[in-house]
A and B are shown apart, each in its own frame.
Chain A
């Protein structure tokens, strides 16, 4: 019984991580790479590869995110937040 409950909750966590982005980028605030004071600082600061450059814009790779919040804390435009 206990093991079963544990497994279910484990699955739910995995499902949530798969469906929902760990962080979101406010496209109004984000300066892309061209207008970012740090020239895409979030991409440079994330060593997990969860934020990557895609056609001059920032793209999220949710499965790489380790929830460290470095991007949230260091975004010069405060464009990154958690859901």
Chain B
């Protein structure tokens, strides 16, 4: 973890959090004193070298905080007298966000599976199985001859014939496993199995939707979320809403010689799992791309161009910061 700290009228500190960093190079490209350098991004992403994505030159860093304000992954933390500038009124605020509407969520876990950053956890409680079957099986122990035919034939392994004493047996139905298929009733040679159908027995039997519902909680961890939009794309009930840090487009130069299977550098550095190698070429899904530019920087063939049109960073009060930040949206590919 790289950090710079200095005390003057104020105590200012800049900390780089490598776990959150993806090596996109945005901080390095906007640093007014050119104090930030990217490490070898691809070898780091592949785990070939043990280094940080970013090096900060402690001697030249002027502790202005611009890098921390502009990092779309919150990988740089800038504090003045112990207070994070993200909490301060004077400093810019990202309007990037990701949220899951708990009212709409059906706990299908699609987002949990798709999230490239493992930022979503779905905890769910299923309804009781016995509440979902439409009947009950009961055994008339007087008629039962303990032949175990029902135990052998039950497709759900719900019946056991238990020994209760010397030559005494009891046939027990596990209500949690029984699906009321009535196979046992038909197979029983002594008609000892009684079936009670809930919907026939009680005419006014109502399906209580609440009883059948899966309850749960979908928790999105903002610390690891990169606002890529996978959850929003995959959610079948539109419960996930994502606002990305940048607007614009990513384009692929079809003329350039992409070496997909040999190289796949873009795929390895993408924090969003937005890139796949299909038929030996890199294919980018813009719907789940955050336009960070990490892929464009590592591509040896320069196949990828990033064109940002808007940065969703509000309350940039400094004119010079605005000027520098405009370089991110000027379509220079950086």
Residue from B48, B257, B262, B263 within 8 A of A41 (CB atoms) = B48
Closest to A44 in B: B48
Whether A68 and B263, one on each chain, are in contact in the complex, defined by CB atoms closer than 8 angstroms, is: yes
**Is B126 interfacial (CB-CB < 8 Å)?**
no
Per the bound structure, the CA–CA distance linking A43 and B40 in Å amounts to 15
Per the bound structure, the CA–CA distance linking A37 and B51 in Å amounts to 11
Q: Which A31-60 residues sit within 8 Å CB-CB of chain B?
A: 37-38, 41, 44-45, 47-48
Residues from chain B with a CB closer than 8 A to the CB of A37 are 49
Give the number of chain A interface residues (Cβ < 8 Å).
Answer: 16
Per the bound structure, the CA–CA distance linking A19 and B301 in Å amounts to 24
Residues from chain B with a CB closer than 8 A to the CB of A38 are 40, 43, 48-49
Give the number of chain B interface residues (Cβ < 8 Å).
Answer: 14
Whether A66 and B259, one on each chain, are in contact in the complex, defined by CB atoms closer than 8 angstroms, is: yes
**Is B98 interfacial (CB-CB < 8 Å)?**
no
**Is A81 interfacial (CB-CB < 8 Å)?**
no
Residues from chain B with a CB closer than 8 A to the CB of A44 are 43, 46, 48
Whether B43 and A74, one on each chain, are in contact in the complex, defined by CB atoms closer than 8 angstroms, is: yes
Whether B43 and A41, one on each chain, are in contact in the complex, defined by CB atoms closer than 8 angstroms, is: yes
Whether A45 and B301, one on each chain, are in contact in the complex, defined by CB atoms closer than 8 angstroms, is: no
**Is B184 interfacial (CB-CB < 8 Å)?**
no
Q: Which B1-56 residues sit within 8 Å CB-CB of chain A?
A: 40, 42-43, 46, 48-49
- Are A48 and B46 CB-contacts (below 8 A) given A69-B300, A69-B301, A70-B300? no
Closest to B257 in A: A67
Residues from chain B with a CB closer than 8 A to the CB of A70 are 42, 262-263, 265, 300
Whether B259 and A68, one on each chain, are in contact in the complex, defined by CB atoms closer than 8 angstroms, is: yes
Whether B49 and A68, one on each chain, are in contact in the complex, defined by CB atoms closer than 8 angstroms, is: no
Contact with A along B299-315 (1 / 0, CB 8 A): 01100000000000000
Closest to A75 in B: B40
Per the bound structure, the CA–CA distance linking A76 and B44 in Å amounts to 13
Residues from chain A with a CB closer than 8 A to the CB of B301 are 68-69
Whether B40 and A47, one on each chain, are in contact in the complex, defined by CB atoms closer than 8 angstroms, is: no
Residues from chain A with a CB closer than 8 A to the CB of B42 are 45, 70, 73-74
Whether A47 and B300, one on each chain, are in contact in the complex, defined by CB atoms closer than 8 angstroms, is: no
Q: How distant is A45 from chain B, measured CB to nearest CB, in Å?
A: 6
Residue from B43, B46, B48, B300 within 8 A of A68 (CB atoms) = B300
- Are A47 and B48 CB-contacts (below 8 A) given A38-B40, A68-B300, A69-B301? no
Residues from chain B with a CB closer than 8 A to the CB of A48 are 262
Per the bound structure, the CA–CA distance linking A71 and B219 in Å amounts to 42
Whether A67 and B46, one on each chain, are in contact in the complex, defined by CB atoms closer than 8 angstroms, is: no
Per the bound structure, the CA–CA distance linking A48 and B265 in Å amounts to 14
Whether B40 and A74, one on each chain, are in contact in the complex, defined by CB atoms closer than 8 angstroms, is: yes
Residues from chain B with a CB closer than 8 A to the CB of A76 are 40
Closest to B299 in A: A73
Whether A41 and B300, one on each chain, are in contact in the complex, defined by CB atoms closer than 8 angstroms, is: no
Per the bound structure, the CA–CA distance linking A70 and B257 in Å amounts to 13
Per the bound structure, the CA–CA distance linking A34 and B61 in Å amounts to 33
A-B contact pairs, 10 of them (CB 8 A): A38-B48, A41-B43, A44-B43, A44-B46, A47-B262, A66-B262, A66-B263, A68-B259, A69-B300, A70-B263
A44-B43, A45-B48, A48-B262 are known contacts; what are 8 more A-B pairs with Cβ within 8 Å?
A38-B43, A44-B46, A45-B42, A66-B262, A67-B259, A69-B263, A69-B301, A72-B300
